[in-house]
C-alpha cells in the first residue's frame, strides 16, 4: 500500500509540470508513448489501490472481531432465520431421525479486542504487531491445540455449537436426493419397449385407474347421508326440458343463468295483454274496497 501511494505522489509532481509547459513545442515535452504510459499507470494504480484498500479494511475487521467473512455470512443468515422463527428455539428432525435443536446463538470466537488481535498477530507484544517480520499465528503440528482449537466467549449454552445448523439443509437432507427415488430399471424397460407395447401398457394403466376410481366411488355410496353428485344425471334432467341453445350447443346454465327462472318469465310472456290488464285491476279493486 505504501508503494502504491508513492505512485500518485510522483505523478503529482510530473503532471503539473507537463500541464505548465503544455504550450511548448512537442519535441520539448514527453513523447506520445510516455503520455499513454503515464495514463495507464494512473488507471491501474487507482483500481489496484481501491482493491487493496477493501482487502485491508476487511482484514482489519476480521482481526478486531476475530471473524472471517464466511463466518459473518453465517451469522447474518442465522440471525435472519431466527427473526423469521416463532420463538428463540425449536427442534428439527434430522435425516437420521434424531431431533436437532435450532436455537439462537451468539458468535463464540469474539473474545475481546486485545485477545482477538493477539490471536491474529501470534503474539501479545503490541510493538511486534507493527513489525512486518514480527511473526504469525502459531499452528500446532499434532492436530490439536493452537490453530486447531479456539477459545470461546461462553455466551452460548454449551461450547462447540458453531456453525449453527441450517434448517433448510436439514429438511432437504431428510427428504433425500430426488434422483435416488427413480426406478432406473423401469425407465430402461420402458425405453426398450415398442410403440405398440407402450400404448398397450398405457391403456392397461388407464383401465386400472378407472377400476380403482369405481371402487372408491362404490365405497363412498355406501356411506350413510353421502350426497353423490352425478354429472350425467344432471345433464339428463336438463336435456329433458331443453331450452335455449346456441349454435355451439351452449345453454343458459353454461353462462350462470337459472333456466327454471327463465322458463317462469317466458311463461308470463305468453299471457295475453288483456289478461295482464285484468290481473292488474284486481289488486287495485281490492285496495279500493278496503
pLDDT (tens digit per residue) in 139-156: 777 766 667 778 888 888
Whether 263 is in a domain gets the answer yes
Q: Could you tell me if 135 and 121 are in contact, meaning their C-beta atoms sit under 8 angstroms apart?
A: yes
Please tell me the least confidently modeled range out of 25-34, 35-44, 127-136, 215-224: 215-224
Whether 75 is in a domain gets the answer no
Whether 213 is in a domain gets the answer yes
Percent of all residues in the chain with a pLDDT value above 70, rounded to a whole number? 62
pLDDT recorded at residue 217: 81
Buried b (16+ CB within 10 A) or exposed e, 106-140: ebbbbbeeeebbbbbbbbeeeeebeeeeeeeeeee
Domains in the chain: how many in total?
A: 4
- Average pLDDT over the chain, rounded to whole? 74
More confident residue, 204 or 173: 204
pLDDT recorded at residue 246: 65
Mean pLDDT of 235-260: 59
pTM of the model: 0.46
pLDDT confidence bin for 7, thresholds 50/70/90: low
Whether 249 is in a domain gets the answer yes
Q: Are residues 119 and 198 in the same domain?
A: no
pLDDT recorded at residue 252: 64
Q: Are residues 117 and 158 in the same domain?
A: yes
The Cα–Cα gap between 112 and 152 comes to: 10
Whether 279 is in a domain gets the answer yes
Domain hosting 201: range is 184-222
Whether 104 is in a domain gets the answer yes
pLDDT recorded at residue 238: 47
Amino acid at each position: 500500500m505504501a508503494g502504491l501511494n508513492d505512485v500518485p505522489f510522483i505523478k503529482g509532481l510530473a503532471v503539473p509540470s507537463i500541464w505548465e509547459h503544455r504550450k511548448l513545442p512537442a519535441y520539448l515535452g514527453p513523447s506520445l508513448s510516455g503520455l499513454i504510459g503515464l495514463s495507464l499507470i494512473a488507471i491501474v494504480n487507482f483500481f489496484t489501490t481501491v482493491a487493496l484498500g477493501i482487502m485491508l479494511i476487511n482484514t482489519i475487521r476480521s482481526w478486531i472481531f476475530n471473524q472471517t467473512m464466511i463466518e459473518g455470512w453465517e451469522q447474518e443468515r442465522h440471525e435472519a432465520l431466527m427473526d423469521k422463527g416463532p420463538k428463540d428455539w425449536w427442534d428439527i428432525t434430522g435425516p437420521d431421525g434424531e431431533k436437532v435443536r435450532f436455537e439462537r446463538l451468539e458468535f463464540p470466537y469474539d473474545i475481546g479486542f486485545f485477545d482477538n488481535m493477539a490471536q491474529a498477530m501470534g503474539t501479545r507484544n503490541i510493538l511486534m504487531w507493527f513489525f512486518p517480520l514480527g511473526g504469525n499465528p502459531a499452528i500446532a503440528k499434532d492436530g490439536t491445540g493452537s490453530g486447531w482449537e479456539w477459545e470461546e466467549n461462553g455466551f452460548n449454552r454449551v461450547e462447540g455449537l458453531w456453525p449453527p445448523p441450517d434448517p433448510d439443509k436439514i429438511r432437504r437432507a431428510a427428504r433425500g436426493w430426488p434422483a435416488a427415488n427413480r426406478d432406473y430399471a423401469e425407465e430402461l424397460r420402458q425405453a426398450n419397449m415398442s410403440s405398440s407395447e407402450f400404448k398397450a401398457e398405457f391403456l392397461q394403466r388407464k383401465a386400472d385407474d378407472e377400476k380403482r376410481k369405481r371402487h372408491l366411488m362404490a365405497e363412498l355410496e355406501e356411506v350413510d347421508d353421502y350426497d353423490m353428485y352425478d354429472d350425467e344425471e344432471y345433464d339428463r334432467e336438463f336435456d329433458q326440458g331443453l331450452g335455449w341453445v346456441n349454435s355451439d350447443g351452449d345453454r343458459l346454465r353454461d353462462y350462470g343463468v337459472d333456466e327454471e327462472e327463465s322458463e317462469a318469465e317466458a311463461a308470463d310472456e305468453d299471457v295475453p295483454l288483456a289478461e295482464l290488464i285484468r290481473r292488474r285491476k284486481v289488486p287495485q279493486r281490492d285496495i279500493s274496497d278496503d
